Structure 1
Amino acid sequence: MKWFGVMPAMTTPFDSKLAVDHAFLSQHATWLLENGCTGLVMLGSLGEGATLEHTEKIEVLKTAVRASAKKKTPVVAAISSLSTANAVKLAKEAEDVGCEGLMVLPPYVYTSDWREMKQHVATIITATKLPCMLYNNPVAYKTDFLPEQIAELAAEHANLAAVKESSADVRRVAGIREILGDRLEIFVGVDDVLVEAVNIGARGWVAGLVNAFPAESVELFNLTLAGKREEAFELYRWFLPLLRMDTVPKFVQLIKWVQGETGTGSATVRAPRLELHGAELTAAQKALSIALANRPAVKSTTFPALKEA
């Protein structure tokens, strides 16, 4: 498992009856990888994992693993549940179906102290032999894994290999490296701090808008990593109004809407989410229309028409 590069937090496509559209999922995954992505992260917040039944999650992982086989790129399963026992069950089944890594989240709904949260994530990390990435997103999950706590986990678990830092505070990247050096690979988990975080040591990006703009995302990451500051900022400036869609409560609806408008997916979401309307839709339309009218030289390949079954 190589924790590096741009790994999409893949959206989960639904058909008109709100069932998972596996044919589209497979084609979308293939397209993302063909445009330079280095792996796929499935079942996360953007993938609407909380709305998927356990059996649906396993089928999503199977589809992603099959789609990734040609490129020999890893599939990372996001592991979260209301209970530790169910999270462990999902982790073990993810290993069984061929996932090469796990992204370990705190439990849905329940928020507590370090003692309980450590026990929860440690139990998942030790449930398989797969390398794991700890997901820190205090904004969404109300659990904040501090750098010293992450270091404690890293010292006790050899297969904790990476951390997805989504606090939106880029100082956390430096804070983790200050304590741990290069022990863990650090991934950016918030789209609009990508350049800042890579400049202080992040080596990967679990990205959102990549679902619609993979080549542009990969180019931005590579330019930043190579230290090409002016070229990177020129692309970043174009991308920022869209990347900021990843930072608000309706990021799932926004990113899926962008996919629908660009022919790379559908705006369909599962309740309790509802599709965009009113002022929020008008604002999104304005941002996307400006971006599409001023596209950079690097462009993702045209999304292929889905072949009829």
Structure 2
Amino acid sequence: MSTSHPWTGVFPAITTQMHRDGSLDLDATATHAEVLIQSGIRGLIFLGSLGENQMLTSAEKRLVMKEMVGAVKGRIPVVSGVAETSTADATAFARDCEAAGVDGFMLMPAMCYKTPDPEETLTHFRTVAAATGLPIMIYNNPISYGNDITPEMFATLADTKNFVALKESSGNTRRITDLRNTVGDRYAIFTGVDDLALESAVLGIDGWVAGTGIAFPKENQRLWELMQAGKWQEAVAIYRWFTPLLHLDVHIKFVQYIKLCVQECGLGKEWTRAPRLPLTGAEREAVLKVIHDGIASRPSAG
């Protein structure tokens, strides 16, 4: 892990807590953020995919970020997801968040636009970056968003100074080595796939955008520290326990699954906003079994 990057370590993607009617619960979001901060994380990402960015109104997103900046009080970087449909909306959101005191961004491709033209994606990223002087993590998730940012594209973007990190969520760990071979240490490389965290750490990453770990922050942080120390036998033991829970992060209903996990661990509520619906029936029972088995057998985080 490089120590020269401004962002390294665990940057969890926190949920946006809601009341049962779908309205924002900012107090609960701030309370959960505090638990995560106390676990030793290095940054917090609000309004990512797990934070239901696209389900919130423009005004709500700005309110969330204003309130969370106030709650964190500068102790660690507060990062906002940028997941707008148009480049104009993305640049406006970045400017407003910077004015509100946000410390940086996790930038996704333009939502709902699966472009076959890499130049359009690169132009979107460059335009948003030009709207702010804050550091930016580029989020590559071709499985969910239909736009693949290749190592060669990251090399093209390397001259934009405020692109400081990338979140690699292609699900292909070969990409980590390809990225190192193509761009060296130009960016901090974060894994964004929970159940590939150990495999990614072996290949040399700088950080982890954790999902399920927001429900098990002490264990998640302990696993990260063991991996960074090269204590692989101890890390594998925790990882084997954690993996059924980490699989919850890669299901199409990962928001509902992880929010349910957060609830069962006493750190929030499961409520999401439509079109996402609460889990029911056999699916709910199956997820609850994974969660309760994990809670019952959780290892010491010390």
Fold shared per TM-score above 0.5: yes
Structure 2's unaligned 5+ residue stretches are none
How many angstroms does 1:17 deviate by?
2.8
Q: Which residue of 2 aligns with 1:4?
A: 8
How many angstroms does 1:292 deviate by?
1.5
Determine the C-alpha separation between the residues in 1 that align with 2:293 and 2:35.
24
SS in 2 for 1:207: coil
- Could you tell me whether the CA contact under 8 Å between 1:8 and 1:210 is conserved in 2? yes
Taking the TM superposition and a 5 Å limit, the aligned residue runs for 1:268-279 are 268-279=271-282
Q: Which residue of 2 aligns with 1:248?
A: 251
How many angstroms does 1:205 deviate by?
0.6
Q: Which residue of 1 aligns with 2:95?
A: 92
Is 1:165 the equivalent of 2:200?
no
Amino acid at match of 1:7: F
Q: Which range moves more in the overlay, 20-29 or 1-10?
A: 1-10
Q: Which residue of 2 aligns with 1:13?
A: 17
Q: Which residue of 2 aligns with 1:293?
A: 296
Q: Which residue of 2 aligns with 1:153?
A: 157
Determine the C-alpha separation between the residues in 1 that align with 2:190 and 2:83.
18
Q: Normalized against structure 1, the TM-score is what?
A: 0.94
Taking the TM superposition and a 5 Å limit, the aligned residue runs for 1:193-208 are 193-208=196-211
Is 1:210 the equivalent of 2:213?
yes
SS in 1 for 2:111: coil
How many angstroms does 1:278 deviate by?
2.1
Structure 1's unaligned 5+ residue stretches are 300-309
- Could you tell me whether the CA contact under 8 Å between 1:104 and 1:125 is conserved in 2? no
Query: How many matched pairs?
Result: 297
Determine the C-alpha separation between the residues in 1 that align with 2:68 and 2:178.
34
**Which of the numbers 51, 63, 68 marks the counterpart of 1:64?**
68
Is 1:127 the equivalent of 2:131?
yes
The root-mean-square deviation of aligned C-alpha atoms, in Å, is 1.2
Determine the C-alpha separation between the residues in 2 that align with 1:292 and 1:25.
22
How many angstroms does 1:52 deviate by?
0.6
Q: Which residue of 1 aligns with 2:35?
A: 31
**Which of the numbers 265, 270, 276 marks the counterpart of 1:267?**
270
How many angstroms does 1:89 deviate by?
0.5
**Which of the numbers 24, 47, 50 marks the counterpart of 1:46?**
50
Determine the C-alpha separation between the residues in 1 that align with 2:211 and 2:283.
18
**Which of the numbers 180, 205, 220 marks the counterpart of 1:177?**
180
Q: Which range moves more in the overlay, 279-288 or 226-235?
A: 279-288
SS in 2 for 1:235: helix
Q: Which range moves more in the overlay, 288-297 or 139-148?
A: 288-297
Structure 1 residues 16 and 277, CA, compared in 2 at 3 Å: closer, same or farther? Answer: closer
Determine the C-alpha separation between the residues in 1 that align with 2:162 and 2:20.
40
Any runs of at least 4 consecutive aligned residues in structure 1 with deviations exceeding 6 A, and if so which? none
SS in 2 for 1:260: helix
Q: Which range moves more in the overlay, 206-215 or 280-289?
A: 280-289
Identity, % of aligned positions = 43
**Which of the numbers 137, 142, 157 marks the counterpart of 2:141?**
137
